[in-house]
Amino acid sequence: MVTLRSQWRELMAGGSPAVYRILTHGVLFGLSFSIADILFNFYLTSLGYDNAVAGQMQSVFRVAGVFLGLPIGMVIDKLSAQRMLYIGILTYAIGWAVLLLLDGVGLTIGSWEVTPLQLMNAVYFVIGAANMATYTAVVPLLSQVIEPRQRAAMFGINAAASTMVGSVGSIIGGSLPALIAPIMGVSATSEPAYRMAMFTVSIFGLLAAVPLIGIKTGNAHHASTSANATPGVVIPPVPFYVLLLLVSPSFFFGFAGGMFVPFQNLFFRQQFQLSDAAVGASLAIASLAMGVGSMIGGPLSKRFSVRSVAAWSRGFGAPTMLLMIIPWLPVASAAYDINRLLIGLTFPLFSALMMQTIPVQQRGTSTSMSSMSWSLGWAVASTWSGQLQSGSFTTVLVISAVCYVISGVLVGVLPYRDKLE
C-alpha cells in the first residue's frame, strides 16, 4: 500500500529552501483566495445583485485569463516565473482593495456614463488576470526547484497547501461578517460587514509575496537545464496545433467547474437555507477534501500512471455531481466533498502530465494555454449557469457531470507522454 508518509519523506529529503518558500506562498495565497471565494457572492447579494450578475462577474474573472493567458505565458518564458509571480500577487491584492471601494462610484467620460457595476467588472477583469498570472507562474517555478521524478507529488503538495488552507479560509470568511458586524453596529449580512471582512483578502494576498522575496532557483537540482530527466532524451518543440489539442481537456474541465463552483455558496444557502457560517463550514470540509485529493495523487500516479489517474478521477466526478440533485443535505454535502477530493487529485496530475510532455522552453506558454482553455470553459459556463438556475440547480449539475466525463476521456486518449519521469 502506497503511504503518504513515505511520499512526504521522499519529497522533504530532496527539498530545497525554495520549495518550502513556494509552499508557504501557496498557503497564504490560498487563504486569500478562499476568503474571497466564500464572501464575494454574498457581498454582491448585499449590494442588490442576483445570481445572474454573480455568474457574469465570474465570467469576467475567467475571460481575463482567456485574453491575457497566452501573453502571460510568453512573458513567463522570457521574463521568468518568479518575476511574474511578484507582479501577479501585488496586482491581485491591490485590485481587491480597489474593487471594494467602488460601490456607488460612477464615471462620466464624455457622453458615456460608466456605472458602478461596469467599473467593478473592469477591476475584476484585472484581478482575474493577476490570479491567472500567479497560478500559471507557480508551475514552471516549481519545475525549476524540484527533480522531475518529484513533479507529480510536489505539484500535489503545492495544490494541497493552497486548497487545504482553504478550509481555514472558508471558516474565517464565513465567520468574519458576524464578528465585524457588532463592532460596526450593522447586520452581519449587510454590505458594510461584507466589505470590511473582504479587506482581509488584500492583506493575505500581500503577505503571499513575502516568502518569494530573494528566492534562489538557479541551481536547485539543476532542474532548469535537465529538461526531462532522462539522459540523452530531448523532447522536441511541440507544434502550436498540438498544444491546442493537448490543452483541450482543460476547456471541458473548466466548463464542468464553471457550471457549479462559482455558485457553491449560493447553492447551499438557497437549497438548504444554511447560514453564512454553516455555508463556510461546509465549504471548509470541501476544501479539506480537495487538499487530501491533491496529496494522494502522487502516490496513486506511481502505481497506475499519471495519465490514467488524471483521466479516471475526472470521469468519476460525474456521478458525484448527479448525486447533488438529491434534495437531502447529508447526501449533497458528501457528494460534493468527494467531488472536491477527485478534483484536487486530478488538477496537479494534469499539470505534471503537461510538464512531462512539453519541453522546458515551452512550459510557460503551454501552462498558460491550459489555463486559458480552462478559463474559457469556466467563463462561458458560469455566465450560462447564472441564467439557467431560476431557483433550481438540476440542469446545471447534469451539464457539469457530462463535461467531467468528456474531459476525462480526452485525457485518456490524447498523445501525452505517459511516463512518470
Residue 133, all three cell numbers: 498570472
Query: Minimal CA–CA distance to 371: which of 59, 112, 56, 64?
Result: 64
pLDDT in the model for residue 231: 44
Task: Give the predicted TM-score (pTM) of the model.
Answer: 0.71
Is the separation of the CB atoms in 142 and 24 below 8 Å? no
C-alpha–C-alpha distance, residues 234 and 225, integer Å:
11
Between CA 11 and CA 13 the distance in angstroms is: 5
Tell me how far apart the alpha carbons of residues 344 and 114 are, in angstroms, rounded to a whole number.
40
Q: Which residues pair with 107 in a beta bridge?
A: 114
What pLDDT shows up at residue 319?
Answer: 96
Q: What is the pLDDT of residues 73-98, one digit of tens each?
A: 778 777 778 888 899 999 999 999 99
What is d(CA 52, CA 184) in angstroms, rounded to the nearest whole number? 30
Q: Considering only CA atoms, which of 381, 280, 298, 419 is closest in space to residue 347? A: 298
Quote the CA–CA distance of 378 and 375 in Å, as a whole number.
5
Secondary element (H or E) of residue 109: strand 107-109
For position 234, what pLDDT does the model report? 58
The helix (run of H) or strand (run of E) holding residue 107 is strand 107-109
Provide the pLDDT for residue 223: 42
Phi-psi region of 110 (alpha: psi -120 to 50; beta: other; left: phi over 0): left
What number of H helices and E strands is found in the chain? 16, 2
Determine the Cα angle at 218 with ends 216 and 224, to 5°: 130
Query: Which parts of the chain have pLDDT scores under 70?
Result: 1-16, 104-108, 110-111, 148-153, 217-235, 418-421
**Domain spanning 11-413, CATH architecture:** Up-down Bundle (1.20)
Determine phi and psi for 261, rounding to 5 degrees.
Answer: -55, -40
The pLDDT, as a whole number, for residue 420 is 46
In this predicted model, what pLDDT tens digit does every residue of 150-162 receive, in sequence order? 666 677 777 777 7
* Sign of the four-CA dihedral 391, 400, 260, 381: negative
Distance of alpha carbon 153 from alpha carbon 9, whole angstroms = 11
CA distance 380 to 182: 39
